Amino acid sequence: MSTSDGSESVAGVSRPAAPGRGPERVGAPHGVSPVRLLERPAVPAPRLPLDLAAQVEAHRNLGAALGASAGIALPAQRRRRFRLLTVELPALVVAVVIAAIGIAVSGGTPAPAPLARQVGCVQDPVAGGCVVPEPVAQAGALYVDPTTPAARQVDEWAAQGRTADADALRALADRPVPLWLTGGADTTERVAAYVDRAAAAGALPLFVAYNMPDRDCGSFSAGGAADAAAYRSWVAAVAEGLGGAESVVVLEPDAVPHQLTGCVGEDGERYDLLAGAVDAFTAAGARVYVDAGNPGFTGDPAATADALRRAGVERAAGFSLNVANFYSTGASVAYGTAISEALGGGVRFVIDTSRNGAGRLLDAADGAPTWCNPPDRMLGTAPTLDTGLPLVDALLWIKRPGESDGSCRPGEPEAGGWFPDYALDLVDG
């Protein structure tokens, strides 16, 4: 998984081949800060059967696989029908079944929804009660950076007369994505400038902190801080740039799963570094989500929960799932709920939906791993803070769509490089 913003070489996460600086925020409705939109009352989480989403995922991928194996090239109209049968209807089934399970476990009464969805208001934890928000776009208070590679590509294609392609790519350029932080001497200045731009837009900035020593265990996104001391210094620089402003930080994609799968030492240093980052970023105003991988990385909610505890998740806002991967939202909800229960219940999480609209690729394509720039994938649910899902604070495009996972095939950009053809494929589905 990788991403870049043009000014810094930015990487995302790859998978093993096996199994207040600046002004106050002004954009939130009626004086309620953007972060408070995430701070809904805890909702009792239904116990989801872990095989439910897997069955739906299998159905979805079976349809896609059958079409591919038959060599069917569907025209646009039939492709839309095919997507409806293999992707959209199964996703709807997941949502309906999740709601039904919530009713069943509560003895016939639906589990209480977040207050904002119950009565059309936003809870104000300071003043108490709630206020009726003004209408907002689906992205809500999340900051849309107008300088991303997708935005620049739209301008370039429009200038070249590729109007249709430019219009299509606006599906990426007009959505909020995070700024990935991967090191560099100017970290404080870059973070502070981004915070200020978001504040000027009245929006909530998103960041991904991705600089752990031995990052990605030497794979496509290898790199990171030189050692523990360098990492702590970098964390302090990020925190200084945040400056007490409200923000969201996804912390170190795959660092915990890689520890669990044994590609780094067992001395516990990585957990100490993660816990220190949780405390530093939280003190600097951020809601921190410690990354927990995806349903197929370790597949062990109890072990993942234990590792998250060591990484300081109980002092964080929660954890993140599916970063740069393709698991369906239903599968991620089920897995995240199991982890939350293993943590004692009520621990919240966010899900990366940037490229999970068609689910996972089941078999390697052209000799590349299934997680590396897989063909025929689709954008997932657009970023939103209003998920309507128990325990899920946000659906986010954490992996920036259109940025390469790595040079897995001849001619593909290195991890983090902008990949316009792949971006267009994600939009077209």
Domains present along the chain, CATH in parentheses? 138-428 (3.20.20.40)
Query: Is 363 strand, coil or helix?
Result: coil
In this structure, how many other beta carbons lie within 10 angstroms of the beta carbon of residue 148?
24
In eight-state DSSP terms, residue 368 is B
Of residues 5, 165, 216, 393, which has the active-site annotation? Answer: 216
Highest mean pLDDT among 29-43, 110-124, 163-177: 163-177
pLDDT surpassing 70 at residue 91: no
In this structure, how many other beta carbons lie within 10 angstroms of the beta carbon of residue 85?
12
- pTM for the whole structure: 0.71
List pLDDT tens digits, range 317-370: 999 999 999 999 999 999 999 999 999 999 999 999 999 999 998 887 788 888
List pLDDT tens digits, range 226-270: 999 999 999 999 999 999 999 999 999 999 999 998 888 778 899
Geometric angle at alpha carbon 310, from 354 and 332, rounded to 5°: 25
The torsion angles phi and psi of 30, rounded to 5 degrees, stand at 50, 40
Q: DSSP for 45-91?
A: PP---HHHHHHHHHHHHHHHHHHHHTT----HHHHHHHHIIIIIHHH
Alpha carbon distance 412, 427 (integer Å)? 18
Alpha carbon distance 412, 399 (integer Å)? 17
Token match 């998978």: residue? 15
Active site residue 51: no
Of 321, 308, 385, 375, residue with least CA distance to 353: 321
CB of 45 closer than 8 Å to CB of 390: yes
